[in-house]
Structure 1
Amino acid sequence: MARHVTDFHGILLFRRDYAERDFLVKFLTQEFGKKMFLVRGAKKRGFKMVADILPFTVGGYVGDIADNGLSYIRTARETHQFQNISIDIFKNAYATYVMSLVDAAFPDSQPLPEWYHKVERALTLIDDGVNAAIITNIMEIQLMPSFGVAPQLQGCAICGRNDLPFDYSESYGGLLCQQHWQRDPRRLHLAQRTIYYLRQFSVLDLDRLHSINVKPQTEHALRQLMDEIYDSQIGVHPRSKRFLDQMQSWSARMTMPPADKTKDQ
């Protein structure tokens, strides 16, 4: 198995126990794509790289890189942790789900410099307090082609027009203009505001995004749309998504107004 020692930049996707004193740590690297690293002695007291292999860490490392199979981390150069993500359970849930999708979308050892940058930018925005649900939607939409699902989102899937109201059709693989709505009685009947954001998010450069305000109704509609597409067309269900769904359910219950109570007369 070919190996070479080199510097690399990595975003920690996840880590898990391995043997008594070691960790397996998976990174999305800028140079080599996704790689699994064995970190020997990581559980020993006094281990020097404890802070460098915490969840939600990004930075520079030196590694013994294998073409296939396990690689090894020799040392860390300069790293930092997304602190707000690490301490906020909601930010944590969204960020973990985004990284789970990226892990599922691509094979290991495939260089992904564009996606490395997108993931780092997405995590930075979530850490900075930009709407984590919307950042997650953007990543879900832009990841769809990597799962083999590339809906037509810039014009009508039948005629190509882009100057009429749209709706989403799973049968036709994307948007239908109003002129062709009758072709699919099972179209999703989405509000035009939801369609607007769907189209915008499909081509949005995260580097140009610094803040975003979306009405709760539209945010909810986007969540339902993404769930429908990922359930019916992509079939990817990371465990982190189930936890995220639970978190959203808890949040919704916490923000519901109390039921009206009347006293007996």
Structure 2
Amino acid sequence: MAKQVSRFTGLVMSRRDFRERDLLVKMLTASQGPLMFLVRGAKRPKAKLAATVLPFSHGSYLGVLHQRRLSLLTAANQVQQYQHITADLTANAYATYLFDLVDAAFYDGQPLGRWFNQVSSALSLMDQGMDPQIIVNVLELQLLSQFGVQPTWDRCVVCGRRDLPLNYSEENGGMLCANHFDRDPYRIRLDQRTTGYLQLLSTVDLTKVKAINVSDYIKQRLQKLIDTIYNNQVGLHLRSRTFIRQMDNWDSQLKLSGRKD
């Protein structure tokens, strides 16, 4: 039986050597989510496919798709690379983490539906130089549902009030208003601005975002909360996220050193 070759849109997540002349390439596809592809002969000198499967490449590909075993990549056209993401260490780190997060949220062969466009838009925005942390925060918040965690951000989970100060309660799975703070003495305290951004980022459509401007204070508060949820409720500990936190520490140390000088 002849193998059916399909045309698909793909984002190159990662690749590694396989045997003497071949590559294994993990790609995010619109139709079947993450898939691992065998690219035969890609390590040979002047191999045409080698340049089309560099990490952070995106375009149109041809191949034989399998959900439960290796897929086969046979051709590519109109492939481009996210140049800023490739060259910028911070953007590169966040894009790598985003791919790892998506890979953890979806099993190989699982159709992504709207998520593919959200991820593709996130990468495009980062490649335009927009704040990679906030862009990734959007998907961190929205992908929580894929891990079985669905916090209520816009109202108190006890009484439904929206007009009082809100704090986040892991124990109660969402926000508590000031009338019910006593339900969780270990709740995470949030100011009104941070709460507003949480509600916005948890629902925003990245395909419609044109600009991003969030203060460092809000960014720190958002990231602290999101990290707490992923550590405690999701139980997901990705090396790529750890690397970003290490980068943040390096940056803080350099700023402190600069002030002393």
TM over 0.5: yes
Alignment of 1:3-22 (within 5 A): 3-22=3-22
Structure-1 residue corresponding to 2:65:
65
Aligned length, in residue pairs: 261
Residue 214 of structure 1 aligns with an amino acid whose one-letter code is V
Deviation of 1:67 (Å): 3.7
Structure-2 residue corresponding to 1:84:
84
Structure-2 residue corresponding to 1:148:
148
Q: Give the distance between the partners of 2:123 and 2:7, measured in 1 at CA.
A: 22
Q: Give the distance between the partners of 1:252 and 1:81, measured in 2 at CA.
A: 31
Structure-1 residue corresponding to 2:160:
160
Secondary structure of 2:197's match? helix
Q: Give the distance between the partners of 2:182 and 2:193, measured in 1 at CA.
A: 21
> Does the aligned pair in 2 maintain the 1:2–1:66 contact within 8 Å?
no
Deviation of 1:122 (Å): 0.2
Alignment of 1:149-228 (within 5 A): 149-228=149-228
Structure 1: give runs of 5+ residues left out of the alignment. Answer: none
Structure-2 residue corresponding to 1:94:
94
Moved more, 242-251 or 252-261: 252-261
Secondary structure of 2:152's match? coil
RMSD: 1.6
Q: Relative to structure 1, is the Cα distance of residues 57 and 22 closer, same or farther in structure 2, using a 3 angstrom cutoff?
A: same
Structure-2 residue corresponding to 1:121:
121
> Does the aligned pair in 1 maintain the 2:64–2:73 contact within 8 Å?
yes
Deviation of 1:257 (Å): 5.9
Structure-2 residue corresponding to 1:106:
106
Secondary structure of 1:214's match? coil
Secondary structure of 1:187's match? coil
- Please report the TM-score for the alignment, with normalisation by the length of structure 1: 0.94
> Does the aligned pair in 2 maintain the 1:130–1:210 contact within 8 Å?
no
- Please report the TM-score for the alignment, with normalisation by the length of structure 2: 0.96
Structure 2: give runs of 5+ residues left out of the alignment. Answer: none
Residue 239 of structure 2 aligns with an amino acid whose one-letter code is R
Deviation of 1:113 (Å): 2.8
Q: Give the distance between the partners of 1:257 and 1:194, measured in 2 at CA.
A: 29
> Does the aligned pair in 2 maintain the 1:86–1:92 contact within 8 Å?
yes
Q: Provide, for residues 78-133 of structure 1, a one-character-per-residue CA deviation record: whole Å limited to 9, x for no partner.
A: 11110000010110001100110000001111111311111100000011011111
> Does the aligned pair in 2 maintain the 1:25–1:37 contact within 8 Å?
yes
> Does the aligned pair in 2 maintain the 1:17–1:24 contact within 8 Å?
yes
Secondary structure of 1:153's match? strand
Q: Provide, for residues 39-82 of structure 1, a one-character-per-residue CA deviation record: whole Å limited to 9, x for no partner.
A: 01111101001221001011100001124200101100211110
Secondary structure of 1:158's match? coil
> Does the aligned pair in 2 maintain the 1:3–1:65 contact within 8 Å?
no
> Does the aligned pair in 1 maintain the 2:117–2:207 contact within 8 Å?
no
